[in-house]
């Protein structure tokens, strides 16, 4: 359990800052081609690393549900929707809504995985969602703007695809360590995103000023952060993981505020406080259960 929280910290630091970096990169790059580059570079670097370690091999039959779920849903579909939306919505808001798997993961964990969610974790989830509402500031959104509305709907759908991948890896855990499946997952995601880039952005691409951002996202954030997120989703109970993932958008809002100069106010302080409180409450409930299981 402790190692899962360590991985969560790494995921927060990497993914929380990824959307402001992506927003900055899109000044000289188009969204779909940036997503292709992100997934493609992650596939290459993870394959080279595994080859150097002597651990590069095709996935086994039992790995295929996880490879398909992660490659097509958590990486492919998520990247398509989230990268398209980041051009329509503030980077901080993108980080918030796309990472809020709470409203999907808890009910799906109960319905599909048969998990029992204690009352304290429902309270933690409610606190976390209240914090998300404060951070997202739905009252500040012009809901009559179709572009902005579409961007928000795409982010909600992106969170759903991410959640479905988590549920799939928990229901059909792969016999192979997830780290060894990353090249195949990212490669599959690249194949899924490429037709969207060709069809939607035939004149698009990645300009010179965006390549440092591209290399950072593709070589570091995507492979390492994705592995951490997958492992956290597999190791922690659904209710705990869903609440803990809320720290990612909270950190993303902080980075967006400091770097991009996006507005800050009472909503950021209130939302961040509620999210931290919800994670503390959920994690306190997780540790005794883990201790009982070991006993």
Domain ranges within the chain, ordered by starting residue = 2-294
Higher pLDDT, 33 or 14: 33
Cβ within 8 Å of residue 144, ≥6 positions away: none
Write down the pLDDT at residue 67. Answer: 96
Write down the pLDDT at residue 139. Answer: 64
Residue 92's pLDDT band (cuts 50, 70, 90)? low
3-state secondary structure of 57: coil
Higher pLDDT, 192 or 5: 192
Q: Which of 224, 195, 212, 217 is nearest to 33 (CA)?
A: 195
Write down the pLDDT at residue 42. Answer: 94
The rounded percent of the chain whose pLDDT value lies above 70 is 79
Per-residue pLDDT, averaged over 66-79, amounts to: 93
Write down the pLDDT at residue 286. Answer: 47
pLDDT higher than threshold 70 for residue 263: no
What is the chain's mean pLDDT, rounded? Answer: 81
Write down the pLDDT at residue 13. Answer: 81
- Predicted confidence (pLDDT) per residue in 210-259, tens digit: 999 999 998 898 888 888 888 887 777 766 776 777 777 677 667 766 66
Write down the pLDDT at residue 290. Answer: 42
3-state secondary structure of 18: helix
Q: What is the pTM of this model?
A: 0.77
- Predicted confidence (pLDDT) per residue in 123-165, tens digit: 888 887 787 777 666 666 666 778 778 887 888 888 889 889 9
Higher pLDDT, 179 or 143: 179
Yes or no: say if 210 and 28 are a contact pair by the CB < 8 Å rule.
yes
Yes or no: say if 26 and 34 are a contact pair by the CB < 8 Å rule.
yes
User: Up-side HSE of residue 93: CA atoms within 13 Å toward CB?
Assistant: 23
Least confident of 112-121, 173-182, 278-287: 278-287
């Amino acid at each position: 359990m402790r190692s899962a929280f360590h991985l969560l910290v790494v995921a927060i630091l990497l993914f929380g800052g990824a959307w402001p970096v992506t927003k900055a990169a899109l000044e000289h790059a188009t969204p779909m081609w940036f997503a292709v580059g992100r997934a493609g570079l992650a596939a290459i670097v993870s394959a080279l690393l595994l080859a150097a370690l002597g651990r590069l091999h095709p996935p086994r039959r039992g790995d295929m549900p996880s490879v398909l779920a992660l490659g097509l849903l958590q990486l492919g579909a998520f990247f398509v929707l989230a990268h398209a939306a980041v051009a329509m919505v503030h980077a901080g808001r993108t980080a918030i809504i796309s990472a809020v798997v709470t409203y999907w993961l808890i009910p799906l964990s109960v319905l599909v995985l048969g998990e029992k969610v204690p009352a304290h974790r429902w309270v933690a989830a409610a606190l976390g969602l209240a914090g998300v509402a404060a951070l997202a500031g739905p009252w500040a959104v012009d809901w009559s703007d179709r572009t902005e509305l579409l961007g928000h709907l795409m982010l909600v759908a992106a969170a759903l695809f991410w959640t479905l991948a988590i549920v799939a890896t928990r229901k059909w855990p792969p016999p192979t360590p997830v780290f060894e499946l990353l090249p195949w997952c990212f490669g599959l995601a690249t194949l899924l995103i490429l037709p969207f880039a060709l069809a939607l952005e035939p004149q698009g691409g990645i300009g010179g000023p965006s390549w440092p951002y591209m290399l950072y996202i593709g070589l570091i954030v995507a492979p390492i952060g994705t592995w951490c997120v997958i492992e956290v989703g597999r190791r922690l109970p659904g209710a705990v993981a869903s609440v803990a993932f809320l720290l990612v958008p909270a950190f993303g809002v902080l980075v967006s505020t400091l770097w991009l100069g996006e507005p800050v106010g009472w909503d950021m302080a209130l939302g961040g406080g509620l999210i931290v409180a919800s994670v503390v409450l959920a994690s306190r409930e997780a540790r005794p259960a883990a201790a009982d299981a070991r006993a």
